[in-house]
Amino acid sequence: MSTRFERKHTEHSGTSRRSEHTQQRRAPENAPAAANTTDPANEAPQGERLQKYLAHAGVASRRHAEELIQAGAVTVNGRVIRELGTRVDPARDEVRVHGKRVQPATEFLYVLLNKPRDTMSTVSDPEGRRTVLDLLPEEWRRQRIYPVGRLDWDTEGLLLLTNDGDLALHLTHPRYALPKEYHALVMGDPPAAVLERLAQGIQLPGENRRTAPARVWVERRQGDATWIGVELHEGRNRQVRRMLDVVEYPALLLRRVRVGPVRLGLLRVGDYRQLTPQEVAALRRASEGGALGTAGAEQGQQGQRGQQGRSRTVYGTHDE
């Protein structure tokens, strides 16, 4: 009896070992590594988050990279990835966006463009209209540079472009609210009551809340028209134009002259230049919540105010 039981037990044990061996043999030996979507317990996360990797590679800002992932436009080792928590190892994993392999940016590029009117602030345009990238050298376009935020089709002025996804995210995220300064040409001479109204906030048609407090001043006179300066700390669609429409002083021309600590200066329309290391460092500090004020934005920038050295009334304040 005991011999028969021992024989059966031995046969069962052998079957179990054969089964385990078979399961091990079935595991593919050369299959590509799957993207790591979960982290094992008690182990540090491995690799880099996919959206951060795409931003570092200059594909898009991190926010846009998240949209690409959720839309199914990104594959890792041939698999479509839609989970934002996915991590990749740049040394092992093959990442593609719309079928094109992603290569990490070798170096970051930071460009200031004086965008002309009638130009799209996009990388491409399905209707074939001119884009800001059409104005830049080919070697810069090959580094996958893209606009940081947008300027309307009919607005000119300062536009930043980069392939540094982290910085682009900080510059465009509402949490950081970098001030942006615009100069608008309007007919006539807006009275103080109109400027004060613009500074206090405007109820825009079709919106539930008023615009945030702004800083508004008269920049200079031009014949029968007036250039108004407006500093915003938010970025709604066509906001300056819509605000001026409400107070019945529509913008004839609109130009952005400053983003955070960086000013347009004397750069001609359609021209561009690389940011200086000091400007890049100032943008980083400002976008990370560092000290920033109008005075700081003007440091090292000479002759940029329309009436520099002359007193003027500024309507509205903003807590820095």
- In the chain, the N- to C-terminal Cα span, in Å, equals 90
Beta-strand pair 48-49/87-88 = antiparallel
Compute the distance between CA of residue 7 and CA of residue 19 in angstroms, rounded to an integer.
Answer: 18
Marked catalytic residue, from 89, 134, 152, 224: 152
CB–CB of 170/288 below 8 Å? yes
Torsion of CA 10, 11, 16, 21, to 10 degrees: 100
Nearest CA to 30 among 68, 65, 77?
77
Radius of gyration of the chain (CA): 28
Determine if residue 188 is left, alpha or beta; phi over 0 gives left, psi from -120 to 50 gives alpha, anything else beta.
left
Would you call 152 a catalytic residue per the annotation? yes
Compute the distance between CA of residue 153 and CA of residue 121 in angstroms, rounded to an integer.
Answer: 7
List, by residue number, the catalytic residues.
Answer: 152
